Amino acid sequence: MHRRITNKFTNFSKLSLASFGILLFLLINTVNVSGQTGSNNSLAYLEQTFPKLTNLYKEELKQCRTHYIFAIDVSGSMKKYDAVVTPALQAFAQALPVGEQVSIIPFGTDPKENTPGLCCRINNEAQIQTLNNSLSTLYINEGYSLEFRRNTDVHKAVEAVNKAILNNQESQMNVVVIITDFLNDLPGIGEIKLKDDNLSKLNKDFDNATSDTYTRVVAMQLPKAGTGKGFCLDQLQESVFCNTSRTKKFDIIQAINDHNAIAHWFNQLSRDIMTEKLKAVIQLDNERSLNASLDVNIDIDGNTTADIRWTPNKLYTQLQIDTTKTQPGSDYYFENNPEAFTITQDTLLENIELGKLKHENWGFRQCKEALIIGMKLPTEYDAELQKLSIEKPLVMPDDEHSDWIFTFFLPFWWTVGIIIAIILYIMMVIKAFLRNSREAFKGTVDFSDSRCRDIGDTIRINKVAPSRTLLIGDGGNYGCDLSNAEWTIQVVKKTSSPLLFWKRPAFEWSAKSGFVCNGNKKRGLLGRYGKGNTSKMANLECGPDSDKLTHGVKIMIK
């Protein structure tokens, strides 16, 4: 990149301090996801600070490999950073433990990928020395053409970063550091924004290359030369290296000139390295799907049971059912069963009684609802996870249910039974009312004298209307008349309320005048059907108001 620098630094030491501060900040806050020399001491720090998690992931911490990718702008205007960037990178390389991968990509008009000596896996001290020697010519490589140094193609640099990640899938972690002023200055065109289709492809390639890995991208924005805005940095942040998950991070670092802060970061470096690596291996488990599935069954009353399946991992071995709820804006709501909120290690939970689906109004309606069940992941490491600012994944499987739901304070079948009983009762009452209104006295009456001899013929009564009274003796027009009778017997229909449908009408006899004796009774019933009383006949002895009996009367009803 060839530009006139309009804002010259008047104090080179100030520039060096600021640039060195930027680089140290970069190394301490990005390289800290990998182990370095002195990692045993850092591991001891982890064992003291996060004893449970460190013990759980000790093997992963020892085996976790990191791929460091440095894309460094070495175009013409960036050469002034050689004295600061190169020594810092050499010190960084010297601190790398065995097994780590390094890819340093110089770029200008084009990226110099797979440059011998700048891309290697650290297996011994000799490789570290070779890397340091190659870094010494990072900015002054004689193989760089004048055309290469005149411009900066940020798009091609990011493409090279994606390729470097994709070509090394053995590493579980990636640390990407892009060092430039982010002025996308193309040959013969000048400074332009990255095209939308290029951004989309870069983002897709980045996501594919970093799937199932912990990746951190740091953009170190050096002071801008000329009057350019360096606006492609915002494009990279918003469209390429956007934070799509907990295992992908993007940071922007600018000039730092606080010497005390630099010293503090340097003193904390050995601890931060392993702490971030611990966070990285945990986040990989955090991102692994627990494959939670939900199969809901809702009965007619809204009582909800569920079968839940899930797959535990190393970190999450227990599951706790939490609040079940309906979709936002639904007229239905869910009444949870607290007894379901139990902690379990079972991976298959069958017929769990979650609670009851209810509606704001009573009724019988078709329900099409997606129930969402919240699940907690309790662990013995909760306090340490919180200390590391690691959030547990949200496990909220859902299942859509479509069926008819009856919402009422009584269960459906109870309600149906009560309604049927009420209908049957009303029908029986109507039937009893009709029966009571139709039922009348039908039967025969026979008379005898005091010597028990029949007097006259048997009198047959076809019907006495329910509103009439049957009189026997001197009965008048509606009764059974006997000449010179000195007594009268009255038979009256006694009708119960039709609400008591099981009670039929009964006929009651009594002495209206004279003397009537049936045993010692002067009042009795005809035709009342009940336990111990099924008689349809009464034999009565009649006479004047004295002890003299003059007639006998036999009343028979059909």
Q: How confident is the model at residue 30 (pLDDT cuts 50, 70, 90)?
A: very low
Percentage helix, strand, coil, to 5, in the chain? 35, 30, 35
Lowest mean pLDDT among 171-185, 271-285, 291-305, 430-444: 271-285
Cα-based distances in Å from 370 to 103, 128, 408: 49, 58, 21
pLDDT in tens, 286-304: 877 788 888 889 899 989 9
CA nearest to 255, candidates 4, 6, 24: 24
pLDDT value, residue 535? 65
Picking from 270-274, 343-347, 492-496, which range would have the lowest pLDDT averaged per residue? 270-274
Mean residue pLDDT across the chain:
81
Burial of 309 (0-12, 13-18, 19+ CB in 10 A): middle
Do residues 507 and 492 lie in contact, with contact meaning Cβ atoms separated by under 8 Å? yes
On the question of pLDDT at 25 being above 60, the answer is: no
Q: Which fold has domain 438-557?
A: Tumour Suppressor Smad4 (2.60.200)
In the chain, what are the domain boundaries? Answer: 12-287, 293-409, 438-557
How many Cα neighbours within 13 Å face the side chain of 94? 9
pLDDT tens per residue across span 34-65: 333 344 445 677 889 999 999 999 888 878 88
> What does the pLDDT look like over 384-403, one tens digit per residue?
999 988 888 878 887 787 88
Do the beta carbons of residue 100 and residue 66 sit within 8 Å? yes
- 179 versus 545: the higher-pLDDT residue is 179
Determine the Cα–Cα distance for residues 347 and 345; give it in Å rounded to an integer: 6
With a cut of 90, say whether residue 425 has pLDDT above it.
yes
3-state secondary structure of 269: helix
pLDDT of residue 229: 56
Query: What's 502's DSSP letter?
Result: T
The C-alpha angle 182, 188, 194, rounded to 5 degrees, equals 40
Position 242 scores a pLDDT of 82
Q: Does residue 83 have a pLDDT over 70? A: yes
223 or 303, higher pLDDT: 303
Which residue pairs, CB below 8 angstroms and at least 24 apart, start in 300-303?
300/403, 300/404, 300/405, 300/406, 300/412, 301/356, 301/405, 301/406, 301/411, 301/412, 302/356, 302/357, 302/358, 302/405, 302/406, 302/407, 303/353, 303/356
What's the fold here for domain 12-287? Rossmann fold (3.40.50)
Between 26-30, 112-116, 286-290, the lowest mean confidence (pLDDT) is in 26-30
Does the structure show a pLDDT above 70 at 257? no
Residue 31 pLDDT grade (very low, low, confident, very high; cuts 50, 70, 90): very low
- Give me the phi and psi of 27, to 5 degrees please: -65, -45
Three-state helix/strand/coil letters over 201-253: HHHHHHHHHCCCCEEEEEEEECCCCCCCCCCHHHHHHHHHCCCCCCCEEEEEE
pLDDT value of position 12: 33
Model confidence at 24: pLDDT above 80: no
Give the mean model confidence (pLDDT) for residues 20-46. 47
- The DSSP element (H or E) to which 493 belongs, if any, is strand 488-494
